[in-house]
Amino acid sequence: MKQICVVGVGYVGLVTGACFADLGNRVIALDVDAKRIENLNKGIMPIYEPGLEELVRRNVKAGRLSFTTSYADALKGAEFAFIAVGTPEGVDGAADLQYVEVAARSLAKHMTAPLIVINKSTVPIGTGDWVADIVKSAQPKPIDFAVVSCPEFLREGSAIADFMAPHRNVIGSLDKDAANKVAQLHLPLRAPIVITDLRTAEMIKYASNAFLAAKISFINELADVCEAYGADVKEVAAGMGYDARIGRHFLDAGLGWGGSCFPKDVQALAFMAKQKGLNPRILNDVVDVNYDRRRDVPTQVEKLLGGNLKGKTVGMLGLAFKENTDDMRDAPSVDISNALIAAGAKVRAYDPVAREVAAPMMPAVEIVSDVYEMAKGCDALVVVTPWNEFKQLDLEKVKSLLKTPVIYDGRNIYDPARMSEMGFTYRAIGRPSNNGRA
């Protein structure tokens, strides 16, 4: 059993803290947001993440996990302190490090014994060295510490499974002893451990996210070529994916990537390259290709309807940036609804969990609590988020409720041939049988 302090109870901090507690460690998770801590102490989660509430409850009950707003309390007896605070996109695409700085200063001020400060947040290359300088200068008296980079690779919606069964753990530090101690913490996960220097570890995180984003933009560009030539991008992805050098993951064509990670991380990596006088052409195109997909939705719906969108009602199936989360950060649904409204349409929407988070972000959209109620009287539907429950919809019922049976399937969740047979004017992305294609 090790004693761990985790700073930040967002997705990364809360999942990391709860999972380390579940592995038998004693974890004190800290946040400066007193309301969040008060809620967590009552068992109310700040985010929707499958399995998290149960995991937190179990470990709190076992006395392995607790929450506080006090650095002094969180650091009492702690050998490790994870920094897991937000690094939002700042000006020019650079990562905004103000929360990391506050966390580092506060740890320095309150530590009373040697400490390994582990950075989990996604931070620009060189941040680990900067954190070390901050800790050193903010300590009231010198106490031994080491800074380690241990980037997270958790996906929202499957964060606990990703933590417990990682592809790898990356540990970066110039202090070998500290790196080994952090490696020990991860041994129960039985995954490969990459031990490297701080800057390389920080880069591995950006490189991984940018590569995955590029893979998605690649398949989205390819989808257009498939469609132009009558090939099916889903089968193309499956056929490519059997090649172990390529892999099937992250080859789902659709409305592109969003969320709190890919958008800011690709921009931040491009920004870092530019700062050194480099021209990150691929990264720039990865971003452009991605956002084109959202921008294109009104035009495609207009084509399917055979006229403009003025006075039409369009229903959006899904709001969250992806399934199994209520996260609305850079969700395609926001840009799509704005564009549809700008083109003269009324927009209605349904999402199984993101309704409350989404409502203030799209006041002009009528968000309803039942998918069939949403379909009633719509001129067209757009599949925005691939929630499982949309795959199992009673499509006959949906058809009978729609004013015109038009579906733009932005996540390729339906079978084009079946949709045609059922009498839908249906368009998928990069697939043949697009009977609505202009």
Q: Give the residues lining the site for ligand UGA (CB under 6 A).
A: 122, 152-156, 209, 212, 216, 250-252, 254, 256-259, 261-262, 321-322
- Of the pair 21, 320, the CB lying nearest ligand UGA is at 320
CB within 8 A of 192, min separation 6: which ones?
167, 168, 169
The two tokens of residue 313 are 């009602």
- Of the pair 134, 261, the CB lying nearest ligand UGA is at 261
Q: Are 162 and 153 a contacting pair, CB within 8 Å?
A: yes
- Of the pair 36, 293, the CB lying nearest ligand UGA is at 293
Task: Kindly state the smallest distance separating residue 251's Cβ from ligand UGA, in Å.
Answer: 6
Task: Kindly state the smallest distance separating residue 381's Cβ from ligand UGA, in Å.
Answer: 18
Task: Kindly state the smallest distance separating residue 258's Cβ from ligand UGA, in Å.
Answer: 4
Q: Is 167 exposed, middle or buried (0-12, 13-18, 19+ CB in 10 A)?
A: exposed
Task: Kindly state the smallest distance separating residue 386's Cβ from ligand UGA, in Å.
Answer: 7
Farthest CA pair distance, the chain: 75
Q: Are 127 and 18 a contacting pair, CB within 8 Å?
A: no
Element (H, E) at 373: helix 371-375
List the catalytic residue out of 5, 150, 226, 261. 261
CA dist list (Å): 132 to 36, 200, 357, 364: 28, 16, 37, 47
Indicate if 378 belongs to the active site: no
Residue 192 neighbours by CB distance under 10 Å: 10
- Of the pair 84, 111, the CB lying nearest ligand UGA is at 84
- Of the pair 248, 418, the CB lying nearest ligand UGA is at 248
Task: Kindly state the smallest distance separating residue 154's Cβ from ligand UGA, in Å.
Answer: 5
User: Phi and psi of 249, rounded to 5°?
Assistant: -65, 145
C-alpha–C-alpha distance, residues 42 and 48, integer Å: 16
Active-site positions read 261
